[in-house]
Amino acid sequence: MRCHPWYIRRILHVIADAPFAWDSQAIDDIDGPTVGWHIALMIEHGLLTGVDMTAHSKSVGLSFINCRLTWRGHDWLAVTRDAQRFEQRLAALGEEPHLDTLYQLLLRDYQLKQGLLGHES
C-alpha cells in the first residue's frame, strides 16, 4: 500500500475534530484497513500517538485506539487547512511526493500568508 498525503490530511482533520481521543475506523470513502495503515505511518512519523490494538482486534488490518495529534501533528494540521493550496502543492510534487518536502512547501506558504516571512520578489 502506498502512503497517500490526501488520506493523511483527511485523517488528521477527523482526529483533530473529534471531541475525545479517536479510535481508528473507516472515514467517509477511506476503508478501515487503509485508515489503520495510514495511522501507523503517522505514528511512526510523529504526527499522532495511539495505542496499537491490532493483536486484540477482530477487524482486518491495523487497529488503534486513543489516537490524538502530537505537537507536530497540529503543525501539519495548520499548514494543510487550505485545501486548494494543499492540492496545488501535492500536484506539483508528482506521483509519489515526499511528505517532508510537501510539509516544507506548505509551511512556507503558511508563513508567507501569516506575514511571518518577507514577501517573495
pLDDT in 10s for each residue of the chain, 121 residues: 788 899 999 989 888 888 776 665 768 788 878 888 888 888 888 998 877 766 666 555 566 667 888 999 999 999 999 999 999 999 999 888 888 899 999 999 999 988 887 665 4
Rounded Cα distance between 46 and 72, Å, is 7
Task: Give the total number of structural domains in the chain.
Answer: 1
pLDDT of residue 18: 80
DSSP state of 9: H
31 belongs to a structural domain: yes
59 belongs to a structural domain: yes
Rounded Cα distance between 43 and 116, Å, is 29
pTM: 0.78
83 belongs to a structural domain: no
Extract long-range pairs of 93-98: CB within 8 Å, 24+ residues apart. 96/2, 97/5
Q: Which structural domain, as residue segments, surrounds residue 17?
A: 5-69
98 belongs to a structural domain: no
Rounded Cα distance between 4 and 7, Å, is 5
